[in-house]
């Protein structure tokens, strides 16, 4: 059971971080593109976030908690507590800053297609998404490092 949970955890982590890398690439490629192309790129990012990134985030968090529940003596490990706190912060950051910015960017780029002047709104939402996303990536990599330290053999 614990091995299955570990596989779910690793696959979910890869899907979570991998999807973020794809959205970063899409953002870079669509930078400077036309309004329609940018709106399409934002739609891909929005749908991917809703159906890949956020579910993978939850699978990673819940499988991690299930592994801890299966081996309660791990609760004495301070690195594990740090990793769980980081996981909580990633979830909060995602729902508080990133998801709303993604939704706003989708709405504003759609409005831009009909000719609305939304340059300031796009800049603001894009900056929030970029900064909060970078913070999430740093927290995720820190949690991964802590996870590796939890499973590393002691010398």
The number of residues making up the chain comes to 155
The answer to whether the CB of 39 falls within 8 A of the CB of 25 is no
The sign of the torsion formed by the CA atoms of 62, 63, 69, 74 equals negative
Mean per-residue pLDDT for 125-148? Answer: 93
pTM (predicted TM-score): 0.85
What gap in Å lies between CA 9 and CA 132, rounded to an integer? Answer: 23
Confidence at residue 154, expressed as pLDDT on a 0 to 100 scale: 63
pLDDT tens profile 41-83: 999 999 999 999 999 999 999 999 999 898 888 888 888 899 9
What gap in Å lies between CA 40 and CA 78, rounded to an integer? Answer: 44
Confidence at residue 113, expressed as pLDDT on a 0 to 100 scale: 87
Annotate 54-82 with b (16+ C-beta within 10 A) or e (fewer). bebbebbbebbeebbeeeeeeeeeeebee
């Amino acid at each position: 059971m614990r091995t299955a949970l570990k596989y779910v955890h690793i696959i979910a982590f890869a899907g979570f971080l991998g999807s973020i890398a794809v959205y970063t690439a899409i953002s870079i490629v669509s930078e400077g593109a036309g309004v329609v192309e940018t709106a399409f790129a934002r739609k891909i990012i929005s749908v991917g976030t809703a159906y890949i990134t956020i579910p993978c985030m939850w699978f990673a968090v819940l499988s991690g908690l299930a592994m801890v529940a299966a081996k309660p003596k791990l609760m004495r490990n301070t690195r594990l507590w740090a990793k769980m706190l980081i996981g909580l912060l990633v979830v909060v950051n995602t729902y508080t800053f990133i998801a709303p910015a993604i939704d706003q960017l989708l709405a504003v780029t759609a409005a831009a297609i009909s000719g609305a002047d939304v340059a300031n709104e796009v800049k603001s939402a894009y900056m929030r998404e970029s900064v909060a996303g970078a913070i999430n990536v740093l927290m995720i990599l820190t949690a991964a490092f802590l996870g590796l330290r939890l499973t590393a053999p002691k010398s």
